[in-house]
Structure 1
Amino acid sequence: MKPLYISFFFLLMISSCKDSTNTGVPLPGDYAHTVYFWLHHPDNPEDRKAFEASLSAFIDQSPYITTKHIGVPAKTNRAIIDTTYTYSLLLTFKDKATQDQYQEEPAHKQFIAESSHLWSKVLIYDSENIR
């Protein structure tokens, strides 16, 4: 299963979450940025610690991010779900212009500079809200 399908289903699941009044709870922000990382050495605890620290420090200080979620593959037994990635990142932004600012912020560039040697592959999916 390709990560594109996972992104679609993940966003669909989030957007269909219900609150206690049984009304839909929309994902804040009109622009979603979903990133999947495959580390060179996913079983290396030092690499994982370095990656997590760098990513967390970066997104915790960004003034542009509306919603943030760092994840790892869920323990599932459904063949349709791709669990080959090491980490996922889901961020939302107010709009595309805000996400464009995020792309240029020094902390984002620092994260890439200090962590890109840890990953072998990255896939990114951006989407805009249709409502």
Structure 2
Amino acid sequence: MKKVLLLFAALTVVISCKESTNSAADFDPAFVHSVYIWLKNPDSADDREAFEASMEKFMSGTLYAKTKFLGTPPRATREIVDDTYTYNLIVTFASAEDQDSYQTEKSHLDFIKESNHLWDKIVIYDALGLPSD
């Protein structure tokens, strides 16, 4: 039963991401914000549902994020791949200044307030795109 609930949760994320994610043509490599999230209770369908609902509200309300992707880890088949996180959020911005503005916008702050009790750990990697020749 636990596996069925996890599969259902993963499919829910995939479906909701397809509905709210921009196309690859919208990907802006100027500033990429990658967030890895470990939920406190990753096997809890209620926690996943609450997290995903809050995330969907956030992603539809952000004024600065261009690309918005939420995913879950596939089962790692190589030792070098980390599949211990619960969710991965990738958002892109036209500039570092837009990313700074995103940090204090209402939809982002509301998401943190609504969901921070659900996660145990978050790791963030930011990257600036290399200039093209």
Q: Quick one: distance in 2 between partners of 1:102 and 1:59?
A: 11
How many residue pairs were aligned? Answer: 107
Q: CA RMSD in A?
A: 1.4
CA distance in 2, matches of 1:29, 1:102: 16
Structure 2 Cα separation of the partners of residues 95 and 32 of structure 1: 9
Q: Quote the Cα distance in structure 2 between the aligned partners of 1:106 and 1:71.
A: 23
- Following TM superposition, where does structure 1 have runs of at least 4 consecutive aligned residues deviating by more than 6 angstroms? none
- Name the CA distance, whole Å, in 2 between partners of 1:76 and 1:38: 16
Corresponding residue of 2:110: 110
- 1:26 deviates by 9.2
Tell me the TM-score normalised to structure 1 length: 0.78
Please state how far the C-alpha of 1:103 moved relative to its aligned partner.
0.5
| Equivalent pair of 2:38/2:120 in contact (CA under 8 Å) | yes
- Structure 2's unaligned 5+ residue stretches are 1-24
Q: Show structure 1 runs of 5+ residues with no match.
A: 1-24
State the alpha-carbon separation in 2 of the partners of residues 26 and 128 from structure 1: 16
Mean CA deviation greater in 98-107 or 27-36: 27-36
Does the 8 Å contact 1:29/1:66 carry over to 2? no
The percent identity for this pair of structures is 44
Which residue does the alignment assign to 2:42?
42
Residue 66 of structure 2: SS of its match in structure 1? strand
